[in-house]
């Protein structure tokens, strides 16, 4: 088992050395929501991040990210804190520290496309003391992630066939929950479409299967329409729709609706600022 204190110290030292010689890019995002039904304004907080990259040799590059989120109650939480090494010739990379899980990365890159209420994979988030690696060969990207070296892992692969990107993942966590994800993303008639199937199985053999599908289309004038549906087998279904309008490169406003089988439709207005 990897000692978390040792790993955190190593990440901090490596990150400091990398930042000192790297090119650093700063950015962030802030979201604010207005709940039409409750007449409440919700501040989602502001996320700020610094990404850095340093060329070691013609083949090797170090990289990293530090991210924090200032919440509405003024508290500050660390989102990301990792460093990594990438080899161009090998098509491989490895990184260590606090980062998103691979399930979260797949969710973000496929079905989690909405500013407000969204469609996501289950059990997403970030974890400490992670080790992650990837290898791309013959058009196939293999990736894996382990937490603290104690048997908690996620492994998967993705590839592109014509205009269709397909991906899959297997994993297990400390709660003895096994996860399987398969999905695809493609473009059809100017719509970007993504769909996933996720099966979560507990140590007692109880399985929950969730199907998700989303679609989006740019309709001109900085406007985008989005729609999504999620079905939990033997559970609840819900539908999400959203229209957004870009106010230049760094801001957009949106209006969204979420409807479930058990509740009345809920409407949300909001804006997003990126910097």
- What is the domain-level CATH number for residue 185? 2.40.160.10
From first to last of its 275 residues, the chain has per-residue pLDDT tens of: 445 544 444 444 444 544 444 578 888 888 888 888 778 887 777 899 999 999 999 999 999 999 998 877 778 888 899 999 999 999 999 999 999 999 999 999 999 999 999 999 998 998 888 999 999 999 999 999 998 766 789 999 999 999 999 999 999 987 778 999 999 999 999 999 999 999 999 988 999 999 999 999 999 899 999 999 999 998 889 999 999 999 988 999 999 999 998 888 999 999 999 88
118 is written with which tokens?
A: 């969204």
Do residues 156 and 143 touch, judged by C-beta distance below 8 A? yes
Do residues 245 and 218 touch, judged by C-beta distance below 8 A? no
Q: In 3-state terms, what secondary structure has residue 12?
A: helix
- DSSP state at residue 262: S
Q: In 3-state terms, what secondary structure has residue 193?
A: strand
Length of the chain: 275
Is residue 211 packed enough to be buried (19+ CB in 10 Å), middle (13-18) or exposed (0-12)?
middle
10 to 2, 44, 61, 97, 149: CA distances (angstroms): 12, 32, 18, 9, 16
Domain limits at 124?
A: 4-274
Number of domains in the chain: 1
E-assigned strand segments in the chain: 23-35, 40-55, 60-70, 76-87, 92-100, 126-137, 140-147, 152-161, 164-172, 178-188, 191-201, 207-220, 223-232, 237-246, 251-260, 266-274
Residue 150: what pLDDT? 65
Candidates 53, 47, 56, 45; CA nearest to 25 is 53
Residue 149: what pLDDT? 61
Residue 6: what pLDDT? 47
Residue 74: what pLDDT? 76
Residue 22: what pLDDT? 56
Report the C-alpha gap between 108 and 95 in whole angstroms: 19
Report the C-alpha gap between 207 and 210 in whole angstroms: 10
Q: In 3-state terms, what secondary structure has residue 150?
A: coil
Angle at CA 189, nearest 5°, toward 260 and 107?
45
Residue 136: what pLDDT? 97
Residue 104: what pLDDT? 95
Do residues 79 and 49 touch, judged by C-beta distance below 8 A? yes
Residue 24: what pLDDT? 82
């Amino acid at each position: 088992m990897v000692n978390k204190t040792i790993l955190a110290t190593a990440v901090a030292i490596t990150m400091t050395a990398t930042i000192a010689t790297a090119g650093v890019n700063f950015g962030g995002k802030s979201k604010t929501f207005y709940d039409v039904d409750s007449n409440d304004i919700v501040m989602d907080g502001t996320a700020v991040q610094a990404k850095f990259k340093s060329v070691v040799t013609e083949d090797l590059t170090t990289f990293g990210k530090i991210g924090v989120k200032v919440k509405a109650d003024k508290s500050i939480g660390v989102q990301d804190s990792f460093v990594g090494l990438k080899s161009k010739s090998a098509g491989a990379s490895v990184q260590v520290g606090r980062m998103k899980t691979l399930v979260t990365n797949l969710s973000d890159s496929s079905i989690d496309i909405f500013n407000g209420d969204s469609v996501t994979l289950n059990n997403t988030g970030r974890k400490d003391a992670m080790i992650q690696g990837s290898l791309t060969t013959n058009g196939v990207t293999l990736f894996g992630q382990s937490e603290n070296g104690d048997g908690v892992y996620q492994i998967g692969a993705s590839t592109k066939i014509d205009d269709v990107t397909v991906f899959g993942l297997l994993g297990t966590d400390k709660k003895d929950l096994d996860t399987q994800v398969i999905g695809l993303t493609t473009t059809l008639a100017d719509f970007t479409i993504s769909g996933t199937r996720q099966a979560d199985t507990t140590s007692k053999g109880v399985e929950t299967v969730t199907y998700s599908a989303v679609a989006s289309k740019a309709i001109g004038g900085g406007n985008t329409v989005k729609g999504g549906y999620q079905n939990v087998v033997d559970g609840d279904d819900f539908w999400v729709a959203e229209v957004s309008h870009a106010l230049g490169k760094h801001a957009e406003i949106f209006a969204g609706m979420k409807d479930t089988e058990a509740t009345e439709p809920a409407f949300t207005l909001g804006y997003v600022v990126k910097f």
